[in-house]
Amino acid sequence: LLSMVLAIGLVVDDAIIMVENVHRHIEAGESRFDAAINGAREMATPIIAMTTTLVAVYAPIGFMGGLVGSLFTEFAFTLAGTVVISGVVALTLSPMLSGMVLKPHGNPGRFEVLVEKTFNGLSNAYKSLLSRMMQTISVVIFFAAVVLASIYFMVAMSQNELAPTEDQGILFYQGLGAQTATLDYLQEHGNEIQERMTTVPGYYEDFMIIGLTAPNAVFGGYKMAPWSERSVSQFQAQPLLQQELSKVTGLQTAVFPRPSLPGSGGGFPFQFVLTTGESYERLNAAADELLGKAMQSGNFMFLQKSIDFDRPVTRILVDRDRVADLGLSMQDVGGAMSSMLGGGYINRFNMQGRSYQVIPQVEQDFRLDEQALNDYRIRADNGELVPLGSVITFEHGVEPSQRTQFNQLNSLKLQGVVAPGVAAGDAMTFMQKTATETLPQGFSYDYTGATRQLASQGNALMVTFFLSLLVIYLVLAAQFESWRDPFIILVSVPMSVAGAMAFIVLGFATMNIYTQVGLITLIGVVAKNGILIVEFANELQKRQGLSKREAVVNAAAIRLRPIIMTSLALIFAMVPLLIAAGPGAESRFAIGLTIATGLGIGTLFTVFVLPAFYILLGRQHNQDKDIPDEVDEGLAQH
């Protein structure tokens, strides 16, 4: 459906260009039949080039793998198919209908006069301004270079995430208790959580599961009322819910949204994995240092270790020398303790028609306290009973709550929720830099869950972006039979990317897979404007013998109307995406904003910057093609 919305603005471009060109010929005095034939001949090459360009833009997306490929395969092939069909219609049906329907204007109405006057005035003013600017093309090219360089800094300044966080009407929470927390303890505090959730605006219902994520944890969800029945969004409710659940003493709680994309993993939104071949004690110490710096940075609202050294453990140490002095063996000690504490199975016996297991074990009252082991008796070889306490001592300590491995190495996760206003990509960049500076030798880091998806798939479309540029360049080079004309046409692409990136840097959106799809789309739609100008400028040189400067100025002025019409058509087609509300609105807004702003600013830059590059790099197509413009003008003056 998203591709259908975009197609509305894309499929009309070719028809607009064809109809406008036929109309221009009719206004020049040609018959409708001749105008349709001549107009179609003039626009056949540009329309084929523009259609091929857009297909080359979307086709690589359709063949991508991974999460991005599964999301955008249908999107890419749908747009590629509609663009091909629109190109065929523009080359066949549009000129035929134009020759039948369009007529020379006899007595135009006031609105038509106003429109014509506006476009003519705009075209004349643009031509005059462009002619003056082309006298100082070095300034224009320097400006283009500055804009190109600014893209690097804007990309570095932009916030990165895999996808915009959507208002899905549900928030998850996790409450973590002490390692010794019992089910009754968790149930009591979980009930308090459920009571407090009902006071948060937008509450509809909730659920809670004890022991799902850990034996000492409660996990649950806060489901919001339908959109039409609540006054707060999910983003407004999250800090309110976090504030309310923080009042529950005895549990460390964290509230986080549901992942926006399927298959991005469960658990907390941010998961940073530390790995090492060293002991868990050293791993825990390194994690504590990194955790402290992360919380001080302000990038995280909540961050915790997946492993804590808080599980109490008591070790029984056996004095082997004492065991030997008393005439015992380690087998005697181990066997006695196993029999009295292990609860092993010996056999069964029948009593009153029922079968019972024989389990040798001391009574429960003598297994509740470690000191009770001192009173256990072991029979020595000489038949004497030796107190177990005479050969054992106790050592108290703590051990990891769990022992996990990642890539066959000891591992520990730092998991949590990024602070409001902080993108996941920025948090990742901070953790990478801090880990590189902090972790000792022999330690490394990785990602899991949604964070791993961002690390592996977040920039996948950027590779497709440059691949699309290369494919388009080769396609245009084949069509124009030139290596320079495609470069001139694609000069407008960085201009449009800079325009879109400016709004991303200003905080209207983040750099995510949807904005990246928008940037890829800009390659095709902005290149269409360049194709119109370059192709017509080449024709003016060949047919009228104009210099490069005269040809490109006249071509840009004549093609200004279709450029404005096609650009406005696509920009207005993005308005529904920009004002959309409800589920999925954030993703639609991201792609709509990127295309609308990039195309608007890119078109403005294109009509001024592209002619300068044409004068600098374009080929000379008239009979004096071997003589540069400047030399030709000098000879004319003498």
Q: What is the pLDDT of residues 524-553, one digit of tens each?
A: 888 888 888 888 888 888 888 888 888 889
**Answer CATH for 311-399 from 3.30.2090.10, 3.40.50.150, 3.90.1150.10, 3.20.20.100:** 3.30.2090.10
Whole-number Å distance between alpha carbons of 584 and 594 = 16
- Per the document, the length of the chain is 638
Considering the entire predicted model, what is its pTM?
0.74
Q: What is the pLDDT of residue 632?
A: 40
Q: What's the whole-number average pLDDT of the chain?
A: 83
Domain 166-258 belongs in CATH node 3.30.70.1430: yes
Residue 525's pLDDT is 84
Give the DSSP per-residue string, 351-402: ETTEEEE------GGGSSSGGGGGG-EEE-TTS-EEEGGGTEEEEEEEE-S-
With residue 257 as reference, give the H or E element that holds it.
strand 252-257
Q: Which residue has the higher pLDDT, 567 or 116?
A: 567
Task: Write down the pLDDT at residue 266.
Answer: 66
Is pLDDT larger for residue 179 or for residue 222?
A: 222
Rounded mean pLDDT, 186-194: 90
Q: What is the pLDDT of residues 626-637, one digit of tens each?
A: 434 433 433 233
Distance of alpha carbon 389 from alpha carbon 375, whole angstroms: 6
Cα separations (Å) of 306 from 250, 267, 315?
18, 11, 24
pLDDT digits (tens, 9 = 90+) for 14-38: 888 888 888 888 887 788 888 888 8
| More reliable by pLDDT, 439 or 368 | 439
Q: Which of 174, 219, 185, 177 is nearest to 308 (CA)?
A: 177
CATH topology of domain 2-160+458-637: Multidrug efflux transporter AcrB transmembrane fold (1.20.1640)
Mean pLDDT highest for which of 68-77, 323-332, 471-480, 592-601?
592-601
Q: Exposed/middle/buried for 427, CB within 10 Å: 0-12, 13-18, 19+? A: buried
Alpha-carbon distance of 231 to 81, in angstroms, equals: 41
Q: What interhelical angle do 548-558 and 585-617 show, nearest 10?
A: 150
Q: Give the domain ranges of the chain.
A: 2-160+458-637, 166-258, 311-399
Look up tokens 């075209």; give the residue.
123
* Cβ–Cβ under 8 Å, residues 539 and 42: yes
Higher pLDDT, residue 518 or 309: 518
- d(CA 337, CA 601) in angstroms, rounded, equals 81
The tokens for 174 are: 């996790």
